[in-house]
Amino acid sequence: MIYQAGNYEVVVIGAGHAGCEAALASARMGCKTLLCTLSMEHIALMPCNPSIGGPAKAQLVREIDALGGEMAINIDKAQIQMRIINTGKGPAVQALRAQADKQEYYREMLKILLAQPNLDVLMAEIEDLEITQDRVGAVITKTGARFKCQAVVITSGTYLKGRIIIGDVIYDGGPGNQFPAQKLSASLLNNGIELGRFKTGTPPRINRRSVDFSKMTEQPGDERPLTFSFISPRINRPQLSCWLTHSTAQTHQIVMDNIDRAPMFTGVIKGRGPRYCPSFEDKVVRFSHKDAHQLFVEPEGRHTDEMYVQGLNTSLPEDVQMAVLKSIPGLENVRIMRTGYAIEYDYVPPAQLKLSLETKAIEGLFTAGQINGTSGYEEAAAQGLVAGINAALKVQEKEALVLKRNEAFIGVLIDDLVNKDIDEPYRLLTSRAEYRLLLRQDNADIRLTAKGREIGLVDDRRWQDFNSKMETLEKTKTLFQQNTFTPADLEATAFLKEKGSAPLKDRLSWWDLLKRPEIGVSDFENMNWINVLDEDIAEQIQIQSKYQGYIAKQQEQVKKFEKMENRRIPVEIDYDEVYGLANEARQRLKEVRPTSMGQASRITGVNPADINVLYIYLEKKRRN
Tell me: the pLDDT tens digits for 437-449?
999 999 999 999 9
pLDDT of res. 449? 98
Give a yes or no: residue 212 inside a domain.
Answer: yes
Do both 573 and 543 map to the same domain? no
528-543 burial, b at 16+ Cβ within 10 Å, e below that, comes to ebbeebeeebbbbbbb
Do both 417 and 514 map to the same domain? no
Do both 419 and 518 map to the same domain? no
Across residues 473-498, what is the average pLDDT?
95
Give a yes or no: residue 99 inside a domain.
Answer: no
CATH number at residue 264: 3.50.50.60
- Read off the pLDDT of residues 332-348 as tens digits, 9 standing for 90 and up: 999 999 999 999 999 99
Q: Is the pLDDT of residue 273 over 80?
A: no
Single pTM value for the model:
0.95
Do both 264 and 355 map to the same domain? yes
Across residues 563-592, what is the average pLDDT?
90
> For residues 530 and 528, what is the distance between their CA atoms, to the nearest angstrom?
5
3-state secondary structure 281-339: HHHHHHCCCCCCCEEEEEECCCCCCEEEEECCCCCCCHHHHHHHHHCCCCCCCCCEEEC
What's the N-to-C CA distance of the chain in angstroms?
58
Do both 289 and 416 map to the same domain? yes
With beta carbons less than 8 A apart as the criterion, state whether 242 and 296 touch: yes
Do both 407 and 476 map to the same domain? no
Domain count, the chain: 3
Q: How confident is the model at residue 90 (pLDDT cuts 50, 70, 90)?
A: confident
> For residues 31 and 25, what is the distance between their CA atoms, to the nearest angstrom?
9
Do both 288 and 258 map to the same domain? yes
* CB neighbour class for 520 (10 Å; exposed up to 12, middle 13-18, buried from 19): middle
Across residues 498-527, what is the average pLDDT?
95
- Where among 429, 455, 485 does a domain terminate? 429
- Where among 403, 429, 455 does a domain terminate? 429
- pLDDT, averaged across the chain: 94
Do both 207 and 328 map to the same domain? yes
Do both 258 and 397 map to the same domain? yes
Q: Is the pLDDT of residue 359 over 90?
A: yes
Q: Is the pLDDT of residue 624 over 80?
A: no
Q: How confident is the model at residue 571 (pLDDT cuts 50, 70, 90)?
A: confident
Across residues 96-118, what is the average pLDDT?
98
Do both 605 and 544 map to the same domain? no
Do both 205 and 280 map to the same domain? yes
AA letter at 18:
A
> For residues 32 and 29, what is the distance between their CA atoms, to the nearest angstrom?
9
CATH number at residue 585: 1.10.150.570
> For residues 567 and 599, what is the distance between their CA atoms, to the nearest angstrom?
10
pLDDT of res. 293? 96
Domain with 576, as residue range(s), is 567-623
